[in-house]
Amino acid sequence: DAGITQSPRHKVTETGTPVTLRCHQTENHRYMYWYRQDPGHGLRLIHYSYGVKDTDKGEVSDGYSVSRSKTEDFLLTLESATSSQTSVYFCAISESLESPLHFGNGTRLTVT
Amino acid sequence: GENVEQHPSTLSVQEGDSAVIKCTYSDSASNYFPWYKQELGKRPQLIIDIRSNVGEKKDQRIAVTLNKTAKHFSLHITETQPEDSAVYFCAALIPGTYKYIFGTGTRLKVLA
């Protein structure tokens, strides 16, 4: 299995608070992704990175920001969490274009 | 915008029967199509992928077919077993980007 660690694995937070989720990889892969998974919606892309300090928006980027200061770390920040951001968040990595995504174990976030 | 539609959303088959899941995509230039299996509470994992220069790919009981003209690709599972019960996702790489777009998933139940 690809070396991907997501932290925390579970988090409960209150509406309006900032939250940062971390994805750490040991594979030295160039591409990193954040997806959210909700019933009936499958996996939706939030943001992705194609190199250090190179990021771009996905389908559902409103309310989220990301940073990648090192190859191995990709951070997802909810500036002011809302109940609609309650979800399971998956980080994924990819070695190159047209190569498979490898997913982390996910972070279950609950916003009360 | 780019879109991947997946059908059916749920599928029940008897053990030993075949299962077929179909996806259609909107961008005719897409050229990489992976399939993922997600067991309950776990991360999605790649089971097979196909590139646009081939029409079919097999791996034991699993096969994927691609029809570029019709812009659809299908997952075929033969001789289904209870351990095949899971949610299956198709995906497509959006050409000219690093973005993978997923279908909404198919919940497969294999009845013993």
Chain B contact set for A43 (CB, 8 A) = 44, 89, 91, 102
Q: How far apart are the C-alpha atoms of A85 and A48, rounded to whole Å?
A: 18
Q: How far apart are the C-alpha atoms of B72 and B28, rounded to whole Å?
A: 10
Q: Which residue of A has its CA nearest to B48?
A: A100
Residues A9-60 have pLDDT tens digits of 999 999 999 999 999 999 999 999 999 999 888 899 999 999 999 999 999 9
Chain A contact set for B6 (CB, 8 A) = 42
Most distant CA pair in chain B, distance = 44
pLDDT at A2: 64
What are the phi and psi torsion angles at B82 (to 5°)? -55, -35
B96 pLDDT tier (thresholds 50, 70, 90): confident
Residues B61-70 have pLDDT tens digits of 999 999 988 8
Token couple for A45: 């892309």
A103 interface with B at CB cutoff 8 Å? yes
* B1 pLDDT more than 80: no
The answer to whether the CB atoms of A101 and B34 lie below 8 A apart is: yes
Residues B18-55 have pLDDT tens digits of 999 999 998 878 889 999 999 999 999 999 999 988 89
**In whole angstroms, how far apart are CA B5 and each of B48, B49, B89, B91?**
18, 17, 10, 9
Q: Which of A1, A95, A99 is nearest to A51 (CA)?
A: A95
B64: closest CA of chain A, how far (Å):
15
Least confident of A50-59, A62-71, B92-101: B92-101
Decide: A92 and A44 in contact? Cβ < 8 Å: no
DSSP states of A61-110 as a string?
-TTEEEEEEETTEEEEEESS--GGG-EEEEEEEESSTTS--EE---EEEE
Q: How far apart are the C-alpha atoms of A45 and A60, rounded to whole Å?
A: 6
Q: What is the mean pLDDT of chain B?
A: 94
B58 pLDDT tier (thresholds 50, 70, 90): very high
What 3-state DSSP class applies to A83?
Answer: helix
Chain B contact set for A97 (CB, 8 A) = 32, 93, 98
Token couple for A8: 């925390």
Q: What is the mean pLDDT of chain A?
A: 95
